[in-house]
Structure 1
Amino acid sequence: MFQMQNASSQLEPECVNFVDEYPDLTNEPIIMGVFFVCYLHIFVLGLLGNLSILYLTMKYRHLQSVQNIFILNLAISDVIMCLTSLPITPIAAIYKVWFFGWPICKLIPFIQGTSIFVSTFSLSAIAIDRYNLVVRPHCHPLGMRGVSIVAVCLWIVALIICIPCGWYMSITEYDRLCGEYCTEAWPIDEVRKGYTLLVLVMQFLLPFSVMAICYAAIFFRLRERAEIKLKKLSERAQLLENSTAGAVTLVNKEDDNSSPSQSVEVKQKLMLVAQQRRTTIILASMVLLFGITWLPHNIATLVMEYNTALIGEPNMYLITMTAHLISMLTNVANPFLYAWLNPSFKEMLFKTLHGAKEFRGGAKFSSSYERKDTIIRNMDTKPVSFNAQEDAF
């Protein structure tokens, strides 16, 4: 009898895998493949976009302006996010077991949180800086020393806020479950919930409010200036038309119903309206992109924090991974919205690519590139335009 009990106990496994004991949709091969492809694209595109911003800013000194320092700060935080959050978070969410040891368990949440806070703080700083340039052009602008101090302060504040993220993380082992688990071990649940609310306010609500208010004020100011310029164009065209009315012959009136001044006026109005539309789209995209990408992640975190019954739900990991994936789209969108729509970055990118292609292909490529570059610069040079600060949009 004793031998039979001993044999049966040896057949029983010492532990079981979490994914075998509690399977969920993230362990389905199709869903794993979809997440792998999406995360891989975000990882590659995010790194290429942000590293190219870092390279161009460091290489070309005239790109090291006050506004571009905030963009540089944003690119650094996005690169850190790509290197830490993108590879490790989906692995931990799919396999549920922590493979990376105790030091990484402490460091990764701290580094991830800091990079996310710096990214959102930098977006707020860019919005405030553009607000001052457009809405308050006569106020004392920040110099390079001032903007460098602000950038460093953003990192310090982010580091301080994220200290609990690493402090209360620990490696835990559970009975009957194989492997180690990196989990939060807060001494008081109310403190953890309060910290979650603080993160929600500081990382999402405050930056979103700042961006919405600043870009709304910029939009209304630019629209006001556009209306004034349209009015001046109409008045100027009317004066030109009245001054040249006596010189227009009857034949010209029959052949062409519009004078040259009217055609110029129409072209300038169309260009001004097109530029205003472009600015509106960019400003709206900046606010909407931030809200759409980060809102699901914050809602999922808040609901899980205050409704512990959801922890046992089989779809919890799928929801949190989807929300995290959506939030990581900012790593790809930020370089495009805040750098590549800027004519200076675009021109330096073409110049850098031209240098590399010329080195490989010889002087034959030079003439064709010069023609393209001339066209691009001529497209960016508008007869009727806002000031340089407004053109940055």
Structure 2
Amino acid sequence: MGACAIATDANISIGLESNTTGITAFSMPGWQLALWATAYLALVLVAVTGNATVIWIILAHRRMRMVTNYFIVNLALADLCMAAFNAAFNFVYASHNVWYFGRAFCYFQNLFPITAMFVSIYSMTAIAADRYMAIVHPFQPRLSALGTRVVIAGIWLVALALAFPQCFYSTITMDQGATKCVVAWPEDSGGKMLLLYHLVVIALVYFLPLVVMFIAYSIIGLTLWRRAVPGHPAHGANRRHLRAKKKFVKTMVVVVVTFAICWLPYHLYFILGSFQEDIYYHKFIQQVYLALFWLAMSSTMYNPIIYCCLNRRFRSGFRLAFRCCPWVTPTEEDKIELTHTPSLSMRVKRCHTKETLFMASDVAEAANGQAGVPKKGSLRNLKPYAWLQGEA
């Protein structure tokens, strides 16, 4: 890889690359710039407002504070930050091909986007794992509050470590009088280090977690739709609970598929550029990049819309959050949906139901000559209401 390609290879996987507009300043008509600016501004406003509302809905209402929803908060926080700190600044860079924001922010822009994307997709993976344990293995102990915090902190630390090499090689250069924020990889690597980093990042923040989630949700789907969930008789309140789990799984599958569709063209763009660098020097590539970058960044604004459309509690939360708008009229049911908690009698009934299930299991084992053999899923090893947690 030549010096020009190295000098123009900035923000390789998530942020803007100056090679998007080549080594000469690309300009576009004012009307075209205005259209792109409007599209990016709408994206940022919807993403920031929507994800901030999701965070408020979960943290401000005790009924929403559960393990799965804390991962949704982590996902919403990453998406909010990516929209606020990446989309707008990199749009300015792509449209003008000049870096206006200084050396420190250049380092930040080469560190944070990969970090935020890693946090986003691995928060989805953590949700899939949590749903897998809750639905496929309902009698296993669930992740505790402390364990949830540890997992979230671990996701952020691994994400920062993954993004660090790109930040480390970031620098400010001058190209024909214009300031550029670039990632100057070592010249003696012959481009191998850059290509290897591309492939590792794309594998870790895209393909690997998508494979894991596909397997997890496939097993969950088989469990929910082809046979009864262990511990969930198909009648009464448990039938409603099963429907709620199905709706939540459908919601998260839509979120994952949307993420995959939005980011796939962007990753393919950089993989292709690694093998055919000359594509970066065509004038049309600026419009291609702006379109692909907008599609990728738009993944940050779809999740709140999906939650609102497919989840009753989030829909109630959005109505309460935007009750000041004249076209939004929250009802008492919306308040009850987020603040009402099961009564003591209902909790006792649920606990009694669970004990009855285990007693029936013990009777069946005794009939088969297996009585007295300790089981891993016995009541003494099960957290209270573990199989009821996570209903969204």
Alignment TM-score > 0.5, same fold: yes
Q: Which has the higher contact order (CA 8 A, sep 6+)?
A: 2
C-alpha distance in structure 2 between counterparts of 1:146 and 1:333, whole Å = 28
Q: CA deviation at 1:72?
A: 0.8
1:149-164 alignment to 2 at 5 Å? 149-164=150-165
2-structure distance, mates of 1:227, 1:134: 7
Cα deviation per residue 1:41-70 (whole Å; 9 max; x = unaligned)? 111111111111222333223322111110
Inter-CA distance 30–274: structure 2 relative to 1 (3 Å threshold):
farther
Residues 208 and 290, structure 1, Cα contact 8 Å, conserved in 2: no
Deviations 1:347-388 (A, max 9, x none): 44445556x68xx9xxxx99x8337778999xxxxxxxxx85
**What are the Cα deviations for residues 133-192 of structure 1, in whole angstroms up to 9, with x where unaligned?**
112212221011001100000000000000012111111113xx2221111100022111
> Partner of 1:138: helix, strand, or coil?
coil
Q: Which residue of 1 aligns with 2:180?
A: 181
Number of the residue aligned with 1:44: 45
1: CA distance, partners of 2:22 / 2:141: 62
Q: Of the two, which has the highest radius of gyration?
A: 1
- How far apart, CA to CA, are the structure 2 residues paired with 1:110 and 1:200? 15
Partner of 2:5: none
Q: Residue 82 of structure 2 aligns with which residue?
A: 81
5+ residue gaps, structure 1? 1-17, 234-268, 378-386
Distance 1:299 1:211, change over 3 A: same
- Structure-2 change in CA distance of 1:338 and 1:122 (3 Å): farther
2:302 corresponds in structure 1 to 333
| Contact 2:273/2:279, CA 8 A, preserved across alignment | yes
Match of 2:280 in 1: 311
Residue matched to 1:216: 218
Conserved in 2, the CA contact under 8 Å of 1:219 and 1:283? no
Correspondences of 1:127-142 after superposition (within 5 Å): 127-142=128-143
Match of 2:259 in 1: 290
Deviation at 1:108, TM superposition (A): 1.4
Contact 1:43–1:86 (Cα < 8 Å) also in 2: yes
Asked whether 1:299 is paired with 2:268, we answer yes
Q: Secondary structure of the equivalent of 1:180?
A: strand
Scaled by the length of structure 2, the TM-score of the pair is 0.71
- The match for 1:108 is 109
Stretches of structure 2 that go unaligned for 5 or more consecutive residues are 1-19, 340-386
Report what 1:56 is aligned to. Answer: 57
The answer as to whether partners of 1:73 and 1:122 remain within 8 angstroms in 2 is yes
For 1:102-159, what per-residue CA distance to the aligned partner results, in whole angstroms no more than 9, with x for missing partners?
A: 1111111201221111111111111111111112212221011001100000000000
- Tell me which amino acid in the other structure corresponds to 1:293: C
C-alpha separation between the residues in 2 aligned to 1:321 and 1:123?
Answer: 26
Over 3 Å counting, the alpha-carbon distance change for 1:274 and 1:132 in structure 2 is closer
SS at match of 1:328: helix
Residue 23 of structure 1 contacts residue 314 of structure 1 at CA under 8 Å; is this kept in 2?
no
Amino acid paired to 1:103 = A
Change (3 A) 1:178 1:19: farther
Q: Which amino acid aligns with 2:48?
A: L
**Aligned residue number for residue 190 of structure 1:** 192
Q: Distance in 2 between matches of 1:391 and 1:55?
A: 18
Measure the CA separation in 1 of the matches of 2:289 and 2:25.
15
Tell me if structure 1 keeps the 8 A contact 2:78–2:116.
yes
Measured in 2, the distance between the counterparts of 1:388 and 1:338 equals 21
* Structure 2: distance between partners of 1:46 and 1:337: 12
Q: Distance in 2 between matches of 1:210 and 1:292?
A: 16
Q: Is the contact between residue 340 and residue 346 of structure 1 (CA under 8 Å) also seen in structure 2?
A: yes
**Distance change (3 Å), C-alpha of 1:288 and 1:369:** closer
In the TM superposition, residue 389 of structure 1 has moved relative to its aligned partner by: 6.0
2:212 counterpart letter in structure 1: V
Percent identity, aligned pairs only? 24
Query: Distance in 2 between the 1:55 and 1:306 partners?
Result: 45
**Quick check: 1:71–1:339 contact (8 Å CA) kept in 2?**
no
Does the 8 Å contact 1:226/1:276 carry over to 2? no
TM-score, structure 1 length as denominator? 0.71
- Larger displacement relative to structure 2 (50-59 or 273-282): 273-282
Higher helix residue share: 1
| Superposition pairs of residues 1-393 of structure 1, within 5 angstroms | 22=24, 27-174=28-175, 177-187=176-186, 188=189, 189-225=191-227, 282=251, 284-338=253-307, 341-351=310-320, 369-370=331-332, 392=392
Question: What letter corresponds to residue 59 of structure 1 in structure 2?
Answer: A
Query: What secondary structure sits across from 1:27 in the alignment?
Result: coil
Report how many aligned residue pairs link the two structures.
322
Contact residue 22 and residue 282 of structure 2 kept, 8 A: no
